[in-house]
Structure 1
Amino acid sequence: MQNSTEHIDSHEPEDTSSSLQAYFKPEISFDDIEQVYQLKRAQPLLQAFTALFHGGFDSVLVRLLVLRELASDAQSSSFSRADINAKLAYLQADSLDTVLARLRSHQLLIWEAATSVYRVAPMARNVLSALDSLLSTQQSAEQGEDPADMGFLLTQVAGAQALGGVTVEQLQHLLGRLVDLTEEFRDAIASGSEYRLRASQSKWNNACDWVEKGTKIIYAITTDGNADAATQRAAQAIGRAQSALLNMQGMFSRALNQIERQRVHLGQSGLSTTDIKSWLMAQDDLAALADGAIDMPVTPLFATPAEMIDVAEAELFAERNQQSSELPSGTDTQFQVQDDAVLYTQLDAWLSSLNQLSVPSNSELPTGVDVQQILLPNSFAIASYRASLLPLIGDQDAGTSQGAAARLSSLPMQFVLTDKLIPIKDSEVAGLSDAQLIFQTQDN
């Protein structure tokens, strides 16, 4: 908060011709520039903003606070100094005197000496109204209601159109924002980042809502016979920019579909790298995730190419020096003959036992057997080997093969397997899948 030492600026107009010309080239007169002429015409309004916003943020905040408190009182149009002291009792007296003097000197507060009261100037109410509109749109953007930041611009155009005084400058501001959004969305699509795409798509949806609301306004401007050529051209350019913005839906969809096709899934868990990244981004402290997971910190070792070459050269010469020109002495080779006859004998015996299984003639007897009866008791290796052969039973494609595969495929049985796991009381096998061999009858 600025104290009473703040000086009071005079509201008398100053001759700024010489100082303003210093900003321009000597051969150019600022009077020949149209924008300068328009801004100089608005000097009273600009001076009102200068009176409010000149200086530090604390001073600006207190001035706006005082002016808004007085302007918000709709019950009375004039305020005595006692009324102001009561309304702003939370301010220091010296600070309040300084702010009132500044507002009064710049004609934002009008002092009537005859009745000794203050009145809020119409210029001050206009400035506060424009500021309140901007603050409300800013709050909406912060709350996520208008991430595209088009609400204020479109509101200004709509209000001016309703009053019949829309200007080319207002339309150009709206057009510039549409062009900025289009370039931002194109950059997000070109980046290939899923997070930028989804954030931009959300902003794009909001921008499309504002475009839909502003279409009627732009149509009214383009069909207005009293609008000048510059206004017509600006409105038509806004229409083209809106069309380009609406046509980006296909670009967003194609980019997201491409990312979906390239998504990496972690095994059969259903999780993807995007899910993990989203989870990591939601964590407040990533370093805390490593607490207790790493006993000793990882110490990185850095080496430049020169050191790497020196070490590699030293290792190469050391290895060459250790090599001997003499051939190593020979050793006797040990031959190991594997007797596969036992394995084939066990396979033939198992196939013979499967052949002996037949469909009982009595229908009350079971028509199938559990696989654990034909796999166990055996060692884990033999049981696993037999279990790997069971899917060949009844396989038509395996019937064209030879050996055990053809014999298994010709058995009058059907292998039925489920996802359920049954615990087994066995010394080597803890569990088997719930499966059966179903005998095929003549009726089947």
Structure 2
Amino acid sequence: MQDNLLAEFFKPGVELADLPTLFPLLRAREALNAFITLFRGGDDEVLVRLMILREIGARADAPRWSPQELRATFAYVDPTKLNTVLHRLRENELLVWDNDEAVYQISSAGRIALAAISTLLGFSEDEDAELGFITSQVAAGQAVGKVSVETLQHLLGRLNELQSEFEQAVLSASEFVIRAAQKKLGSVWRWVEKGTEIIRAITADEELDGATHRVAQAIGQAQSRMLRMTAVFQRTLNSIQSQRVHLGESGLTSTDIAAWLRKQPVDRLSPLTAGVVHAHPEPIFVTESEMLDVAEYELLEREREKHREAVIPAAQEAPTTGRVEAERLIFAESFRDGLGDIAASTPLADVVLGDNYALTAYRMSLLALLNDPESQALSGPVADIARLPLKLNIAGELAQVCRNGVAALSVGDVEPR
């Protein structure tokens, strides 16, 4: 009947045992039934069941209970309600009834449930009970050689959540938020340190499988990032403190005033604002400029994009880098040799004009290096050009050339120094 009810949650034809997420739960159904029995029903019923079962399990020297001992121990519980709870625990095999000796004792599933609940209650008063509880589970698994990947993933998830929370506190640039995050980091610090020792021991195990080892390494990295947050908090607080405003010689700062205001009730803050704020900004979220930009796009640009044709140019073979560099070297050497023949003032067009625009532009860029100290310190034809005893004179006017792909060229000349 339970299998039929469970199958109703899934689509027809799905084999429940083939689901990797459900199969571990089906395999541990007997242990899970203990928790289902304890926590099914209202809150009050659950609390009474837990109270009675924990009291029965707490007597370690004499774990077997007679009905008379149970009635005497729980004399403060209504007898009818007590019998109902005991019957439910016995019916669902959390309590075992021994007919020969007429006594109760806790079953193995009940002991497992009590141990888990006791561990959870031990961390209920801690500020970060979740991290402490998960770390204890990892430590217990490591101690007995049964490290659970699922538990490691829970620990990694909690560490990442805390890291994100601390980073958001730093980004807020609020001294109060950062100090609260710093205090929380201090409360979880001992669990991070204990977790570091445990993860170091886990990763040192050579028989650990790959998946578990990867999760353990990720936990170690997350713990390292969290340990660095102390310095990040302190640097941010120092930066905020340098921006504090001191109120005259009173010894008070803007931080003291803000802290005092945060502790005041709303009804006391209202009179303090009377006559202080005379005007408040009225933001205009939609202005004429933004409306015009949106209208221009919707009415014009959007229609143009619909009719615009994107034409991809034909494919061309990329030039070999070595060949291009060799050609440039040849052009530079030829230009250097030509400049070495200049013995008198020569017009700029006669010096740099080449067979095409590209060659002319290249010669013009080389000519600009004349007498450049940085270029002179190099080697090669470019450095030789920079060392030539020539001087470049350029005017602001342009002279019409209209040949070899060059329309106009700056007016100037090259003359010996």
- TM-score tier by shorter-chain length is 0.5 to 0.7
Please state how far the C-alpha of 1:56 moved relative to its aligned partner: 0.5
For residue 357 of structure 2, what is the aligned residue in structure 1? Answer: none
Q: Choose which of 17, 20, 23 in structure 2 pairs with 1:34.
A: 20
Please list, as runs of the form range in 1=range in 2, the aligned pairs for 1:403-418 lying within 5 A after superposition.
none
The letter of the residue matching 1:125 is R
| Percent of residue pairs bearing the same amino acid type | 45
Q: Structure 2-normalised TM-score?
A: 0.62
Shift in CA distance, 276/27, structure 1 to aligned 2, threshold 3 Å? farther
Does the CA-based 8 Å contact 1:110-1:120 persist in structure 2?
A: yes
Q: In the alignment, which residue of structure 1 is the partner of 2:108?
A: 122
Structure 2 counterpart of 1:190: 171
Q: How far has the Cα of 1:254 moved from its partner?
A: 2.8
Structure 1 residue 253 and structure 2 residue 238: aligned? no
For structure 1, the 5+ residue unaligned runs are 1-13, 142-146, 306-444
1:236 aligns with 2:217: yes
| Structure 1 equivalent of residue 60 of structure 2 | 74
Give, in whole Å, the separation in 2 of the partners of 1:297 and 1:113.
Answer: 84
SS at 1:55 equivalent: coil
Pick the aligned partner of 1:53 from 39, 52, 57.
39
State the 1:107 CA deviation.
0.5
Give the C-alpha shift of residue 289 in structure 1. Answer: 7.8
Distance 1:116 1:149 in 2: 41
Q: Which amino acid aligns with 1:216?
A: E
Q: Secondary structure at the residue paired with 2:136?
A: helix
3-state SS, counterpart of residue 21 of structure 2: helix
Larger radius of gyration: 1
Structure 1 residue 69: Cα displacement: 1.1
Q: Residue type of the partner of 1:271?
A: L
1:231-380 equivalent positions in 2, closer than 5 A:
231-283=212-264, 285=265, 287=267
CA displacement 1:307-355 (0-9 Å, x = unmatched): xxxxxxxxxxxxxxxxxxxxxxxxxxxxxxxxxxxxxxxxxxxxxxxxx
AA at the equivalent of 1:185: F
C-alpha deviation, 1:297, in angstroms: 12
User: Is 1:174 aligned with 2:155?
Assistant: yes
Map of 1:103 onto structure 2: 89
The answer (yes or no) to whether the contact 1:280–1:286 under 8 Å persists in 2 is no
CA RMSD in angstroms comes to 2.8
Deviation string 1:41-75 (CA, Å, 9 cap, x unpaired) is 11011111010000110000000111011111123
Contact 2:31 2:112 (8 Å CA) reproduced: no
- 8 Å contact 1:148–1:203 — kept in the other structure? no
The CA distance in 2 between the partners of 1:164 and 1:244, in whole Å, is 27
Find the residue that maps to 1:150 and give its secondary structure. Answer: helix
Which one-letter code corresponds to 1:91 in the other structure?
V
The CA distance in 1 between the partners of 2:18 and 2:266, in whole Å, is: 60
Distance 1:37 1:165 in 2: 19
Contact 1:264/1:273, CA 8 A, preserved across alignment:
yes
What one-letter code is carried by the residue in structure 1 that aligns with 2:191? W
Give the secondary structure class of the aligned counterpart of 1:111.
Answer: strand
- Decide whether aligned partners of structure 1 residues 92 and 234 sit closer, same or farther in structure 2, where only a CA change above 3 A counts: same
User: What is the distance in 2 between the residues matched to 1:30 and 1:264?
Assistant: 66
Greater share of helix: 2
Answer yes or no: is 1:64 the counterpart of 2:66: no
1: distance between equivalents of 2:70 and 2:223? 49
Q: Is the 8 A contact 1:154 1:214 kept in 2?
A: yes
| Number of equivalenced pairs | 281
Cα displacement (A) at 1:32: 2.6
Equivalent residue number for residue 184 of structure 2: 203
C-alpha separation in 2, matches of 1:257 and 1:148: 31
Mean Cα deviation higher: 47-56 or 266-275: 266-275
Deviations 1:379-415 (A, max 9, x none): xxxxxxxxxxxxxxxxxxxxxxxxxxxxxxxxxxxxx
The question of 1:151 aligning with 2:121 is answered no
The 8 Å contact of residues 148 and 207 in structure 1, kept in 2 or not, is answered as no
For 2:2, which of 11, 15, 21 is the aligned residue? Answer: 15
Alignment counterpart, residue 77 of structure 2, candidates 91, 96, 99: 91
**Residue in 1 that maps onto 2:321:** none
8 Å CA contact 1:148, 1:206 repeated in 2: no
| Aligned-partner Cα distance in 1 for 2:147–2:169 | 33
Runs of 5+ consecutive residues of structure 2 not aligned to the other structure = 284-417
Q: What CA distance in whole angstroms lies between the structure 1 residues aligned with 2:91 and 2:159? A: 41
Note closer, same or farther for the CA distance 1:269–1:297 as it changes in structure 2 (3 Å cut).
closer
Q: Distance in 2 between matches of 1:230 and 1:131?
A: 29
Cα distance in 1 for partners of 2:146, 2:250 equals: 62
